Amino acid sequence: MKVAVVKEAAPDERRVALVPEAVAKLRAADLEVLVESGAGDRAWLADGVYAKAGATIVPAGEVAGADAILMVGQPSEQLIARLRPGQAVFGLLAPLADPALAARLAAAGVTAVSLDLIPRTLPRAQPMDALSSQANIAGYKAAVLAAATFGRFFPLLITAAGTARPAKVLILGTGVAGLQAIGTARRLGAVVTAYDVRPETKTEVESLGATFLELAAVGPAAGDGGYARALTEDERQAQQEELTGHIARHDVVITTAQVPGRRPPVLVTADALKAMVAGSVVVDMGASDLGGNVDGSLPGQTVTTENGITVIGAGGLPSTMPAAASAMYARNISALLLYMMKDGKLAIDLSDELQAGVVISRDGSVIHPALAASADDEPARADPAGGTPDVNGAAH
């Protein structure tokens, strides 16, 4: 079987789907590996190191001939135009946010496999869980970014020129990214408090040396598949109001709350930002085109409020650490590829929960249950649980 690695289409994407170590692993499993010339350049991986690992370096047009095409993000329109029926495309295709892409790939007859739909609670899916590997990197980078932006120290410092008190950091949402942000902020010496609607994360938070914040106004809100459920309008309002006082007492807030398939919940309102002290920093990891966890934050943009709060709409954080992010992603994507192969070929088994969870199109149709219903309705945003698209947050 022949697999190909493309140069990523998005201009600000620095990651690459395979690193040389993963190429060697696939070669050992008897796969032929093509790498589009320059694919690893932005992660400091030159064509030569791929060739040394056993890959064949090819010009852009030639990758389209492979049996499976591996990428980090979404394929370009030029690539889709060159695909042929029966080929497979693996990537973080974000079909829930962009169902139209799933429809285009289905129309091209392509078997599209989206790593962001991996059922994260299946233990055998862990080596393939690219959302977690990339969220780990993003959580680390969010804390480092906050520390670099904050005009004071994170650790307690006692010097001849005076004593600096440690920064007080609040992390909202303690999934993968949040836990890594806690660990990183703690390692930098900050005093960390963290909050999540899933109280079962309390033990993990405390094991990292942070204090778990419990709100009186909002009860546990665990949902399906290890995720939180969307809050009701009353719960959401009560949560925002109670959080405001806590936010005001912190120097740095990092938000990571999400409910898959929903608009990110707003946890830091305009009033909460107003209540913060000048010089405070807020990093919104949930910032996206659909909104964010912080009122008014914009993806990829840093704004300063009238009262001197720096709000960072963090986007594309894993891409800012392309060497680490590519190495982890390469392990995820090659593990998934090998898992879906039998006797040297892709042998997709949709009776397997893991494989059924990631295949979004096959034989000309969108087949993923979370997408099939919305395939004819491009602007709609699908709910992975198959329910009605909804918002979990204030109007944006």
Site for ligand NAD in 10-69 (CB under 6 A): none
Cβ pair 135, 180 in contact under 8 A: yes
- Burial of 241 per CB tally in 10 Å (0-12, 13-18, 19+): middle
- Is 227 considered catalytic here? yes
CA distance 190 to 126: 30
What is the number of the residue whose Cβ is closest to ligand NAD? 175
How many other β-carbons are positioned within 10 Å of the β-carbon of residue 277? 12
Cβ pair 59, 84 in contact under 8 A: no
Site for ligand NAD in 300-319 (CB under 6 A): 314-318
Candidates 114, 133, 174, 280: give the one binding ligand NAD (CB under 6 A). Answer: 174
> 138-150 burial, b for 16+ CB within 10 Å, e for fewer?
bbbbbbbbbbeeb
**Site track 221-240 with ligand NAD (rule: CB under 6 A), x = hit:** ------xx--x---------
The smaller minimum CB distance to ligand NAD, of residues 110 and 218, is found at: 218
By CB under 6 A, tell whether 108 contacts ligand NAD: no
- Is 180 considered catalytic here? no
The smaller minimum CB distance to ligand NAD, of residues 75 and 173, is found at: 173
By CB under 6 A, tell whether 177 contacts ligand NAD: yes
**Site track 313-352 with ligand NAD (rule: CB under 6 A), x = hit:** -xxxxx----------------------------------
- Is 207 considered catalytic here? no
- Is 87 considered catalytic here? no
By CB under 6 A, tell whether 135 contacts ligand NAD: yes
The smaller minimum CB distance to ligand NAD, of residues 12 and 363, is found at: 12
Classify strands 191-195 and 168-172 as parallel, antiparallel or unpaired: parallel
- Is 271 considered catalytic here? no
Cβ pair 293, 256 in contact under 8 A: yes
By CB under 6 A, tell whether 178 contacts ligand NAD: yes
**Site track 113-132 with ligand NAD (rule: CB under 6 A), x = hit:** ------------------x-
The smaller minimum CB distance to ligand NAD, of residues 112 and 131, is found at: 131
The first and second tokens of residue 50, run together, are: 């791929």
> 35-59 burial, b for 16+ CB within 10 Å, e for fewer?
bbbebbebbebebebbeebbbebbe
Q: Is the dihedral of CA 342, 346, 347, 352 positive or negative?
A: positive
Candidates 75, 265, 296, 357: give the one binding ligand NAD (CB under 6 A). Answer: 265
Please tell me which residue in 129, 251, 284, 295 is annotated as part of the active site.
Answer: 129
Within a 13 Å sphere around the CA of 24, how many CA atoms are in the beta-carbon half? 8
The smaller minimum CB distance to ligand NAD, of residues 77 and 271, is found at: 271
> 61-84 burial, b for 16+ CB within 10 Å, e for fewer?
eebbebbbbbbbbbbbeebbebbe
Q: Residue 15 CB, nearest distance to ligand NAD (Å)? A: 11
What is the chain's percent helix, strand, coil content, to nearest 5?
Answer: 35, 20, 45
By CB under 6 A, tell whether 134 contacts ligand NAD: yes
By CB under 6 A, tell whether 175 contacts ligand NAD: yes
CA distance 250 to 256: 16
Q: Residue 266 CB, nearest distance to ligand NAD (Å)? A: 9
Stretch that binds ligand NAD, among 48-56, 61-69, 110-118, 196-204 (CB under 6 A): 196-204
Candidates 264, 296, 322, 357: give the one binding ligand NAD (CB under 6 A). Answer: 264
How many other β-carbons are positioned within 10 Å of the β-carbon of residue 220? 11
The smaller minimum CB distance to ligand NAD, of residues 75 and 178, is found at: 178
Closest CA to 42 of 80, 6, 81, 76: 6
Cβ pair 40, 11 in contact under 8 A: no
- Rule CB under 6 A: which residues touch ligand NAD? 131, 134-135, 138, 172-178, 196-198, 201, 227-228, 231, 256-259, 264-265, 267, 285-286, 314-318
Q: Which residues are catalytic?
A: 120, 126, 129, 132, 227
